[in-house]
């Protein structure tokens, strides 16, 4: 297993060597985002702007107007919040080909706490006209998406997770914007829809459900915008219940997207939607394993919530105990 | 704490320990047993990633039991990875994303002076030197000078490191004293690991009442732990248990001779 941030750094170094218009701008987090790979491997393609995210985006926009192909390197939370005005006016409103690499995306960023956990990014970026919004599931999709974004002539926002997850794709994976992927067929009982690295845990949840006699299909949506709505609706059709799962607020992210599609289609036989993610509230500091359990995103907790959505009574074994560095918390 | 949490920042908090010891142990007018005391001075940590040293200073002056320090970054702990004002009584602000503390401090200072009629209440804002890369700091610097906020004291942890390396390589700060003076601030430049110098600098700043003051505290990142001192790679990582034992032994030995 390889972390997406490492794949991003390695792929970016290749891209800068293939095309000298490709540059990465960093806001003093290169060793975390892994832009350091470019800083060390091809220093001419690396631009350090310091801890100054608004300047970072403005610089990248300027470079894009001069024919360069800039990538941004910092934690996603500093881009979608601190530098949002620059992203909105300079990048989105002009359609500039600036690649926004949101490192340490989502909930799971090593105990830093709610100030650093970006659980609203998909909602914000999905609402941004002209923005392509992507969340790769694993290292292979992260590599394919990075290569696709390098060629795309427009603004792109990409979530890159800090830590590695079990891959769900093969090394020959090819990315097509808008496409949805069935990671697990079947699904007589329920369809699980997920995005980003959470999809890997949802596949695991489906296996746990199978062991409890529940047949679950798993659909992965790497491209929140654009999205092939017909394909997504087709992928969730034919069952009574669909559960979306995301390490993001349940508002206006993947759950919001699926709700919009179902509601607009107006099909009386449409499945009932349950959204799993962060409720309308902030998270906290803790090792990732604890956060996954606390906020219902571990495979076990996802499986539990699916069973509840299907009306199964909770099983006694559903109480999960998580062990992580620093001791055990029930 | 950091070894136990297995994540966090080591070098900055160690370098700032002498500063917070003086502030919490000597300079601040505060009542740890009564965090909301209305006559208190205010301390804002703007470089929130150095939270461990603030928690240590608070615990050792009586805000909460020192045993609780070992809960840093655990699920349910009041000691969040970055300070969270609603989590722990005595924390005056929330920080982490850099650059916002000086604005909050300027607002506090102006309100207590002009609306409450209490210019004797002092607001301290601790900042990192790398944090000065953020434009928000300089917006606040202009504001505080315009309103001559003499009860506002900024403290810059001038340790010359940030995550990607030396501050003068990442984004040169150059003549920092000159920059603050040009912005209208009274500037004191000191050795930030010299207790007597810190006490004297704070006293001097408190005597300046017609303009805001800033203490440029030159500190040694990783202070007291030989293998960490001056090494920027220790900005954002934590010691192993063997390394932590060496660090505690070195700090204890120094503490006994100081």
User: What's the gap in Å between the CA of A153 and the closest CA on chain B?
Assistant: 30
pLDDT band at A236 (very low <50, low <70, confident <90, very high): very high
> Is B96 in Cβ contact with A51 (below 8 Å)?
no
For position A319, what pLDDT does the model report? 44
| Predicted confidence (pLDDT) per residue in B68-98, tens digit | 999 999 999 999 999 999 999 999 999 999 9
Query: Is B39 in contact with B29 (CB distance < 8 Å)?
Result: yes
Q: In CATH, what number is assigned to the domain containing residue B170?
A: 3.40.50.970
A contacts of B12 (beta carbons < 8 Å):
none
For position A321, what pLDDT does the model report? 45
Q: Which residue has better confidence, A71 or B241?
A: A71
For position A303, what pLDDT does the model report? 98
> CA B156, CA B160: separation in Å to the nearest integer?
11
Q: Which of B76, B96, B170 sits opposite A116 (nearest CB)?
A: B96
For position B230, what pLDDT does the model report? 87
B contacts of A80 (beta carbons < 8 Å):
none
Interface test with B, best of A33, A55, A74, A115 (most B CBs within 10 A): A115
DSSP per-residue codes, A240-307: SEEEEEEEEESSSSHHHHHHHHHHHHT-TTPPEEEEEEE-SS------HHHHHHHTT-SHHHHHHHHH
B contacts of A58 (beta carbons < 8 Å):
none
Q: Which residues of A touch B (CB under 8 A)?
A: 26, 28-32, 36, 39, 48-52, 54-55, 77-78, 81-82, 110-116, 284-287, 290-291, 294, 325-327, 329
Strand pairing of A69-75 and A22-26? parallel
What are the residue ranges in chain B where pLDDT is below 50? none
> Is A114 in Cβ contact with B171 (below 8 Å)?
no
Strand pairing of B165-166 and B161-162? antiparallel
C-beta atoms surrounding A184 within 10 Å: 20
What ipTM score was computed for the predicted complex, to two decimals? 0.92
Mean pLDDT of A125-132: 97
What is the share, in percent, of chain A residues with pLDDT greater than 70? 94
Tell whether the model's pLDDT for residue A196 goes beyond 70.
Answer: yes
Tell whether the model's pLDDT for residue A18 goes beyond 80.
Answer: yes
User: What's the gap in Å between the CA of B99 and the closest CA on chain A?
Assistant: 9
What class has domain A181-329? alpha beta
A contacts of B79 (beta carbons < 8 Å):
285
> CA B75, CA A3: separation in Å to the nearest integer?
24
User: What's the gap in Å between the CA of A257 and the closest CA on chain B?
Assistant: 29
> CA A98, CA A22: separation in Å to the nearest integer?
11
B contacts of A321 (beta carbons < 8 Å):
none
Mean pLDDT of A274-294: 95
User: What's the gap in Å between the CA of B88 and the closest CA on chain A?
Assistant: 13
Quote the domain boundaries for residue B41: 2-257
Tell whether the model's pLDDT for residue A2 goes beyond 80.
Answer: yes
Tell whether the model's pLDDT for residue A315 goes beyond 60.
Answer: no
> CA B132, CA B143: separation in Å to the nearest integer?
16
Mean pLDDT of A222-247: 96
> Is A111 in Cβ contact with B8 (below 8 Å)?
yes
Give this prediction's pTM: 0.93
Q: Which of B5, B73, B163 sits opposite A29 (nearest CB)?
A: B163
B contacts of A294 (beta carbons < 8 Å):
75
Domain boundaries of chain A, sorted by first residue: 4-159, 181-329
For position B235, what pLDDT does the model report? 84
What is the share, in percent, of chain A residues with pLDDT greater than 90? 90
- Please count the structural domains in chain B: 1
User: What's the gap in Å between the CA of A37 and the closest CA on chain B?
Assistant: 12
List the structure tokens of B200. 């004297």
Q: Which of B7, B97, B131 sits opposite A78 (nearest CB)?
A: B97
User: What's the gap in Å between the CA of A111 and the closest CA on chain B?
Assistant: 6
DSSP per-residue codes, B191-211: ETT-HHHHHHHHHHHHH--SS
CATH number for the segment(s) A4-159: 3.40.50.970
Query: Is B129 in contact with B167 (CB distance < 8 Å)?
Result: yes
Terminal CA-CA length for chain A: 28
Tell whether the model's pLDDT for residue A313 goes beyond 80.
Answer: no
Interface test with A, best of B81, B167, B239 (most A CBs within 10 A): B81
Tell whether the model's pLDDT for residue A326 goes beyond 50.
Answer: no
Residue B130 C-alpha from the chain's centroid: 13
Mean pLDDT of A311-317: 66
> Is B75 in Cβ contact with A115 (below 8 Å)?
no
B contacts of A48 (beta carbons < 8 Å):
164, 169-171
Find residue B183's DSSP bridge partners.
none
Tell whether the model's pLDDT for residue A114 goes beyond 90.
Answer: yes
pLDDT band at A229 (very low <50, low <70, confident <90, very high): very high
User: What's the gap in Å between the CA of A104 and the closest CA on chain B?
Assistant: 14
Q: Which of A26, A36, A294 sits opposite B75 (nearest CB)?
A: A294
Query: How many CB pairs (< 8 A) connect A and B?
Result: 110
């Amino acid at each position: 297993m390889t972390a997406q941030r490492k794949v991003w750094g390695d792929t970016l170094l290749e891209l800068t060597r293939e095309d000298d218009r490709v540059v990465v701008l960093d806001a003093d987090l290169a060793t975390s985002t892994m832009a350091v790979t470019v800083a060390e491997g091809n220093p001419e393609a690396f631009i350090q702007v310091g801890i100054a995210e608004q300047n970072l985006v403005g610089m990248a926009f300027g470079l894009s107007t001069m024919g360069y192909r800039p990538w941004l390197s910092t934690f996603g939370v500093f881009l979608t919040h601190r530098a949002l005005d620059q992203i909105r006016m300079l990048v989105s409103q002009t359609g500039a080909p600036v690649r926004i690499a949101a490192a340490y995306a989502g909930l799971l960023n090593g105990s830093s706490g709610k100030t650093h956990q970006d659980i609203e990014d998909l909602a914000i970026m999905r609402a941004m006209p002209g923005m392509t919004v992507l969340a790769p599931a694993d290292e292979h999709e992260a590599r394919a998406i990075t290569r696709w974004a390098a060629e795309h002539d427009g603004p792109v926002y990409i979530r890159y997770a800090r830590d590695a997850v079990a891959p769900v794709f093969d090394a020959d994976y090819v990315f097509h914007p808008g496409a949805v992927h069935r990671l697990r067929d079947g699904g007589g009982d329920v369809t699980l829809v997920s995005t980003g690295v959470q999809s890997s845990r949802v596949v695991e949840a489906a296996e746990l459900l199978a062991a409890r006699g529940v047949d679950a299909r798993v659909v992965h949506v790497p491209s929140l915008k654009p999205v092939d709505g017909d394909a997504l609706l087709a992928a969730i059709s034919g069952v009574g219940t669909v559960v979306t799962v995301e390490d993001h607020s349940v508002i206006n992210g993947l759950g919001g997207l699926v709700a919009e599609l179902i509601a607009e289609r107006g099909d009386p036989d449409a499945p009932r939607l349950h959204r799993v993610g962060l409720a309308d509230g902030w998270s906290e500091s803790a090792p990732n394993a604890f956060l996954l359990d606390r906020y219902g995103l571990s495979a076990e907790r996802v499986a539990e919530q699916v069973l509840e959505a299907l009306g199964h009574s909770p099983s006694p074994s559903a109480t999960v105990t998580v062990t992580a560095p620093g001791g055990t918390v029930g | 704490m950091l070894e136990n949490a297995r994540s966090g920042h080591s070098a900055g908090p160690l370098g700032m320990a002498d500063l917070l010891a003086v502030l919490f142990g000597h300079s601040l007018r505060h009542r740890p047993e009564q965090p909301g005391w209305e006559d208190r001075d205010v301390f804002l940590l703007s470089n929130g990633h150095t939270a461990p040293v603030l928690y240590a200073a608070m615990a050792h002056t009586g805000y909460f039991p020192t045993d609780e320090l070992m809960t840093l970054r655990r699920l349910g702990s009041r000691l969040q990875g970055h300070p969270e004002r609603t989590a722990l009584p005595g924390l005056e602000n929330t920080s982490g994303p850099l650059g916002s503390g000086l604005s909050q401090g300027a607002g506090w200072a102006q309100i207590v002076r002009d609306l409450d009629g209490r210019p004797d209440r002092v607001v301290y804002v601790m900042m990192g030197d790398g944090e000065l890369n953020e434009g928000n700091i300089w917006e606040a610097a202009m504001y505080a000078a315009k309103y001559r906020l003499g009860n506002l004291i900024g403290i810059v942890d001038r340790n010359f490191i940030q995550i990607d390396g030396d501050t003068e390589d990442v984004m040169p700060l150059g003549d920092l004293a000159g920059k603050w003076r040009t912005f209208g601030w009274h500037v004191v430049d000191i050795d930030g690991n010299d207790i007597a110098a810190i006490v004297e600098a704070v006293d001097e700043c408190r005597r300046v009442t017609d303009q805001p003051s800033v203490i440029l505290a030159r500190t040694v990142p990783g202070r007291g732990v030989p293998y960490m001192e001056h090494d920027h790679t220790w900005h954002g990582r934590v010691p192993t248990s063997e390394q932590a034992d060496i660090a505690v032994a070195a700090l204890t030995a120094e503490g006994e001779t100081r």
